[in-house]
Every structure is written in structure tokens, then in C-alpha cells.
């Protein structure tokens, strides 16, 4: 990997749920959290990765001889990769005739990403949309994020940042100086539960939200509603109280859990912590909405 280039895992065009109007969403790779319900496991690891989809392999063994690090071998009836030897050269990805090896993530210069964003300028002009930096966690690559935000500002493109809020406060404020809208995730108000289900406590996140709110940044809350984890009356009430006390936030996007990420976890050979039991019923969604609205918040149902 080139340490002088940022790492991404996707760019999504014509996104309708990542901020106002039509957006181009740029996904940074790497996140310090490990939420049980994460829908983008390919964005967790900050490194580039190579995965092998065994079902696609036709057993030609071209990749074994083509790997300069001898990281690949034929074991039993499948290709095996020794991760400790793999240098991520991507030769196997190029060589394989059946596309069984896949690169996860890529590095790109700021110039190249700006070039991609510029292709959608006519859509921003027509729809009032813009660009959204998401992830992973975009603030985990704050220097590159700030550079991209500045460049988009020069082009007069509306800029949103979708963040877990888990970042150094100083860096967050630097980012805020170049951001038109924050999409700020709020998950669990109890820190011990937050740590259990995301891997980190929530003190830094709540503190950052307070600071950001005082800075007069425009913030929209994203609440991923996950059954049995954060849909209790207690959690939703605590969230409503906290947000109404801030006094600067009106909008909450309620993102209801769906269990569509299992295939991604299997492909990446990662433990899949998502679960059908996390699906929320319409009654729970309605109750959550009502509880938040009682605190003066405007709730938008998403996905």
C-alpha cells in the first residue's frame, strides 16, 4: 500500500439516501468501530484486501504459479491464500480467468476522486444535490477528507460528511469548517452497551456531538434502529432527551435494520454478526418515531 494515498472501497452515483437530493457518495475504507449490524463490512479494515470466491474457481491453478510471493496453493480441492505472505500485488486478480480473486478497496489520488465527483456536476446543479463522504469512517483519514472537502468547496459543491462521530474533537472541528451538513450517527445512549455492540464507548461521540452542535454546524442525526439492541423505550427516550437539550438539531433519519449483508460477510470470510432477529416490526418503528417526535424532533424513515 502507498501510505501517501487515501484508501476507498466504493463510489456510489445517484445516491438518494445519503443527504439532500441526488448525491455522489465516496466511501473511505477503514473504521474504528465494529457495529454488530454493519452493512458495509468491506469498509471496516483500513487495508486493501484480496478475497477469493471459491464457487467461481474452475481449478486451473494459473494463479498459484503467477503469485510472486508463493502465497497461493492448491489445498484439497480449493485455492488457499497465506495472508502473511500476500503483498497485495493483485497479480492473481489480473490472472484469474473466472474472476475468483477480487480486490476489496483501492487507493486513489485526490485528483482522481475529484475527477469522478466532477462527472456528476450537472446532476448537482439540477437537483441541488452534492457529494457525501462516508465509509467506513471518513474522519479516520481526516487529512485526505479535508483536502477533498476544500476542493469540493472551490467547485461550489454541497458537502456532507457521514460520520460515527468517533474522532478527535479538534479534527472534527477542522472538518466542520469545510462541511455543509453532517450526517451524524447515534446508536446507543448507554456507554457500556455501546461498547458491547460497537467496540467503543460513546463518551467521545456524545461529547463531539455537543461541541459540533455548539459550533453551529448543520447536523442531521442518523439512528440505525436495530431490534433487541437499541430499540428499547429507555434508549429512544434518552436519545430524544439528549437531542432536544442540544437545542440545535431538528431532523432524525430512522434507518431500519435489514439483514442483507450476510453474503458480503461470507465473501470476506468474516464472522457475520448480523442477525434476522435484529429486524424491527412496523409497531416498533412507529413507537420509536412517536417517542422522538414527543421531543420536538422531525423523524424521517429511511431504507
Shortest distance, CB of residue 29 to ligand SF4, whole angstroms?
Answer: 17
Shortest distance, CB of residue 49 to ligand SF4, whole angstroms?
Answer: 10
Of positions 35, 51, 67, 172, contacts ligand SF4 by CB under 6 A = 67
Q: Pick the closer one to ligand SF4 by CB: 23 or 81.
A: 81
Distance CA 51, CA 79 (A): 11
Shortest distance, CB of residue 75 to ligand SF4, whole angstroms?
Answer: 12
CA distances from 246 to 94, 180, 207, 213, 219 (A): 52, 19, 11, 7, 11
Mark the segment that binds ligand SF4 (CB under 6 A) among 17-25, 41-49, 60-68, 190-198.
Answer: 60-68
SS3 state of residue 77: coil
Q: Pick the closer one to ligand SF4 by CB: 46 or 240.
A: 46
Report which of 253, 193, 199 is spatially closest to residue 221, judged by C-alpha positions: 253
Residue environment code for 85-112, b if the CB has 16+ CB neighbours within 10 A, otherwise e = ebebeebbbeebeeebbbebbbebeeee
Residue 104 within binding range of ligand SF4, rule CB under 6 A: no
Q: Cell 453474503: give the residue.
A: 263
Of positions 7, 25, 91, 208, contacts ligand SF4 by CB under 6 A = 91
| DSSP secondary structure letters along 180-204 | SEEEEE---SSHHHHHHHHSS-SHH
- Cβ atoms of 216 and 251 closer than 8 Å: no
Of positions 38, 51, 96, 188, contacts ligand SF4 by CB under 6 A = 96
Residue 89 within binding range of ligand SF4, rule CB under 6 A: yes
Of positions 1, 13, 14, 61, contacts ligand SF4 by CB under 6 A = 61
Q: How do 7-15 and 106-107 pair as beta strands?
A: antiparallel
Residue 299 within binding range of ligand SF4, rule CB under 6 A: no
Q: Cell 481526516: give the residue.
A: 142
Shortest distance, CB of residue 247 to ligand SF4, whole angstroms?
Answer: 52
Binding-site size, ligand SF4 (CB under 6 A): 26
Looking at residue 2, the DSSP 8-state letter turns out to be: -
- Cβ atoms of 107 and 90 closer than 8 Å: no
Distance CA 11, CA 3 (A): 21
Of positions 79, 131, 167, 239, contacts ligand SF4 by CB under 6 A = 79
Binding mask 12-51 for ligand SF4 (x = CB under 6 A): --------------------------------------x-
Shortest distance, CB of residue 2 to ligand SF4, whole angstroms?
Answer: 15
Q: Pick the closer one to ligand SF4 by CB: 104 or 114.
A: 104
Q: Cell 449490524: give the residue.
A: 37
- Cβ atoms of 20 and 218 closer than 8 Å: no
Shortest distance, CB of residue 65 to ligand SF4, whole angstroms?
Answer: 9
Distance CA 51, CA 230 (A): 32
Mark the segment that binds ligand SF4 (CB under 6 A) among 21-29, 63-71, 161-169, 195-203.
Answer: 63-71
Q: Pick the closer one to ligand SF4 by CB: 104 or 183.
A: 104
Q: Pick the closer one to ligand SF4 by CB: 58 or 286.
A: 58
> Which positions touch ligand SF4 (CB under 6 A)?
50, 57-63, 67, 69, 71-72, 79, 81, 86-92, 95-96, 98, 100-101
Amino acid at each position: 500500500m502507498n501510505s501517501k494515498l487515501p484508501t476507498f472501497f466504493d463510489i456510489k452515483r445517484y445516491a438518494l439516501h445519503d443527504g439532500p437530493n441526488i448525491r455522489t457518495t465516496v466511501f473511505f475504507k477503514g473504521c474504528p468501530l465494529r457495529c454488530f449490524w454493519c452493512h458495509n463490512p468491506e469498509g471496516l479494515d483500513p487495508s486493501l484486501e484480496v478475497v477469493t470466491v471459491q464457487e467461481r474457481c474452475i481449478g486451473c491453478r494459473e494463479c498459484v504459479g503467477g503469485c510472486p510471493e508463493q502465497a497461493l496453493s492448491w489445498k484439497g480441492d480449493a485455492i488457499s491464500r497465506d495472508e502473511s505472505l500476500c503483498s497485495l500485488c493483485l497479480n492473481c486478480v489480473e490472472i484469474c480467468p473466472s474472476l475468483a480473486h477480487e480486490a476489496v478497496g483501492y487507493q486513489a489520488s485526490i485528483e482522481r476522486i475529484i475527477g469522478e465527483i466532477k462527472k456528476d456536476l450537472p446532476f448537482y446543479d439540477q437537483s441541488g444535490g452534492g457529494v457525501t463522504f462516508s465509509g467506513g469512517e471518513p474522519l479516520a483519514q481526516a487529512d485526505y477528507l479535508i483536502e477533498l472537502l476544500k476542493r469540493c468547496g472551490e467547485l461550489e459543491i454541497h458537502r456532507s460528511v457521514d460520520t460515527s462521530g468517533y474522532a478527535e474533537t479538534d479534527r472534527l472541528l477542522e472538518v466542520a469548517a469545510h462541511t455543509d451538513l453532517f450526517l451524524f450517527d447515534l446508536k446507543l445512549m448507554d456507554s457500556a452497551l455501546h461498547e458491547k455492540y460497537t467496540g467503543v464507548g460513546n463518551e467521545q461521540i456524545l461529547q463531539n456531538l455537543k461541541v459540533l452542535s455548539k459550533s453551529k454546524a448543520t447536523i442531521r442525526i442518523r439512528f440505525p434502529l436495530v431490534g433487541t439492541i437499541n430499540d428499547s423505550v429507555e434508549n429512544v427516550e434518552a436519545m430524544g432527551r439528549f437531542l432536544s437539550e442540544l437545542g440545535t438539531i431538528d431532523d432524525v433519519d430512522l434507518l431500519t435494520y435489514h439483514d442483507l449483508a450476510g453474503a458480503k460477510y461470507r465473501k470476506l470470510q468474516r464472522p457475520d454478526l448480523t442477525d434476522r432477529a435484529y429486524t424491527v416490526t412496523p409497531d416498533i418503528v412507529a413507537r420509536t418515531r412517536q417517542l422522538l417526535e414527543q421531543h420536538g424532533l422531525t423523524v424521517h424513515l429511511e431504507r
